[in-house]
Chain A
Amino acid sequence: MTACAIKISELHKYFGKLEVLKGIDFEVAMGEVVCVVGPSGSGKSTLLRCVNRLEEPTSGTILIEGDDITDPDADVDRLRTRIGMVFQQFNLFPHLTVLGNVTIAQRKVLKRSEKESVEVARQVLDRVGVLDKIDEYPIRLSGGQQQRVAIARSLAMDPDMMLFDEPTSALDPELIGEVLDVMRKLAEDGMTMMVVTHEMSFAQEVADRVVFMDGGVVVEEGPPAEVLSNPKAERTRRFLRMVLEK
């Protein structure tokens, strides 16, 4: 059996009476980069947030490298250390410096020594190109730099996979490129990635597979060349027309 990083089956999610995920079956293989696209309100962010249980699924199962994270007895905190997550709003800790942001979970969760955590921090900050900001507070950084620190904060935990929730949507247009560059490099290094995004050119270029969601279901999935350039479903075509016209 090929290693499956994320395996989602029969996933349903209700917010009150509203069903936002209507039975999702979906897999991400080890080392695969999957971009999830679709109109807002299609449930793509909710799906991503269910993967590390920031959102509680109503029913269905999600296996993280074979371990069921939806099991009520699952050690969710432990499993989450294997899943990095990057948010639209960065969510850096404003009361800590860049170094503090990148070391605090290493120290408190992984119980790494101060020395080791600083070493790892320097390594990952260098990898995302913000090592020179190590002693700054997040508020002094541009949006692009903040998001790269957020990526480094996740990488410092040595995750097996990374989730990206519209990582460039809160950025000024001229800062999007630097974040996408970092993500592209991650993909090249073989990181397993699930990316919710509106950046079609990024999906086209970097994704192994594109998933189009609408109305809480997966409408279409396949290689980017197929889904983005030659979509089968009418809904996908309509969405792409709208996005590309912008």
Chain B
Amino acid sequence: MYALAVVVVALAILLGDWERIRFNFFNVEVMADMFPGVLTVAARNTILYTLMSFAIGLVGALALALMKLSTIGPYRAFAIGYIELFRGLPALITLILIGFGIPIAFDLRMPGGRVGAGVLGLSIVAAAYMAETIRAGIEAVPWGQSEAARSLGMSSNRTMFTIVLPQAFRIVIPPLTNEMVLLIKDTSLFFVLGTTPLTKELTKFARDFMVEIRNATPLTVAALVYLAITLPLTWLVRRLERRAAVSR
């Protein structure tokens, strides 16, 4: 098996057009041209869109999780319907629905324009995914915790917010960080909504730059910036998970 790998690598080295690869993917002049826009506009927008979608999605997810665990039937039904629907659809469909479908149908403009529509669409999808995570976290808190709180005279709402949720959130921080990594990548879908030079996120920025100068180096740069954001986050998740494992 090693022999095969050696042969493949050797062939790649011998036959690869290295000058061409260097020129098209690792072109230093192109890289220099991309700065500072790739950071001050593109990366900034990617991070901004992610954080906004995550924050709004988290609030929605918490509401959905509580609804799914509610004793009130219609709330449960709504939460289940919502979660299954938006986890079942491609995020792209939801984005197009919010960005074009609903504005066309009701003849209205989304607050915040195209970026607003993108953030809203992504929040809707993120809420569906994170709701299940949060629900699982709430259910992972031992029932005895609720019983102890109730026996001290706390109402069920008070018990949820002061005793159960603080513990549930510790449990779900690693999986929620994972959701955020997925969300970072999903912001690349914003391009379907149309952009202006100042609202481009990383993928759109790189793609437009590539088409303009007919060179693929911007893709390499975008990939490296994505990794610079996501790798520390996944490293953080691993650390958090290890710490959680130790404390239990």
Q: Which A residues form the contact surface with B (CB < 8 A)?
A: 52, 54, 77-78, 80-81, 83-85, 87, 89, 91-95, 104-105, 108-110, 139, 150, 153-154, 157
- Chain A residues positioned under 8 Å from B170 (CB to CB): 95
Sample 24 A-B pairs with CB under 8 A, ordered by A number.
A54-B147, A54-B151, A77-B150, A77-B155, A80-B150, A80-B153, A81-B152, A85-B151, A87-B144, A87-B147, A87-B148, A89-B142, A89-B144, A91-B142, A91-B147, A93-B148, A93-B149, A93-B167, A94-B167, A105-B149, A105-B153, A110-B153, A139-B247, A153-B152
- Chain B residues positioned under 8 Å from A85 (CB to CB): 148, 151
Main secondary structure of the interface of B (DSSP, over half): helix
Instruction: Kindly state the separation between the CA atoms of A94 and B142 in the bound complex, as whole angstroms.
Output: 11
Q: How far is the CB of A85 from chain B (nearest CB, A)?
A: 4
Closest to B155 in A: A77
Would you list which residues of chain B between 113 and 168 have a CB under 8 Å from chain A? 142, 144-145, 147-155, 158, 162-163, 166-167
Instruction: Kindly state the separation between the CA atoms of A11 and B144 in the bound complex, as whole angstroms.
Output: 24
Q: Which B residues form the contact surface with A (CB < 8 A)?
A: 142, 144-145, 147-155, 158, 162-163, 166-167, 170, 247
- Chain B residues positioned under 8 Å from A78 (CB to CB): 153
B153, A81: Cβ atoms under 8 Å? yes
User: Which one of A52, A94, A139 has the highest number of Cβ atoms from chain B below 10 Å of its Cβ?
Assistant: A94
A77, B144: Cβ atoms under 8 Å? no
Q: How far is the CB of B121 from chain A (nearest CB, A)?
A: 35
With A104-B162, A153-B152, A154-B152 as known contacts, state yes or no: A93 contacts B147, CB within 8 Å: no
B145, A91: Cβ atoms under 8 Å? yes
B144, A80: Cβ atoms under 8 Å? no
Q: A81-B152, A95-B170, A104-B162 given. 11 additional CB < 8 A pairs?
A: A54-B147, A77-B150, A80-B153, A91-B148, A93-B149, A93-B163, A95-B167, A105-B149, A105-B152, A108-B162, A157-B153
- Chain B residues positioned under 8 Å from A109 (CB to CB): 152-154, 158
- Chain A residues positioned under 8 Å from B150 (CB to CB): 54, 77, 80
Instruction: Kindly state the separation between the CA atoms of A105 and B155 in the bound complex, as whole angstroms.
Output: 11
B153, A91: Cβ atoms under 8 Å? no
- Chain B residues positioned under 8 Å from A105 (CB to CB): 149, 152-154
B151, A83: Cβ atoms under 8 Å? yes
- Chain B residues positioned under 8 Å from A153 (CB to CB): 148, 152
Q: How far is the CB of A82 from chain B (nearest CB, A)?
A: 9
The 6 closest A-B pairs by CB, nearest first: A91-B148, A105-B152, A81-B153, A85-B151, A91-B144, A109-B153
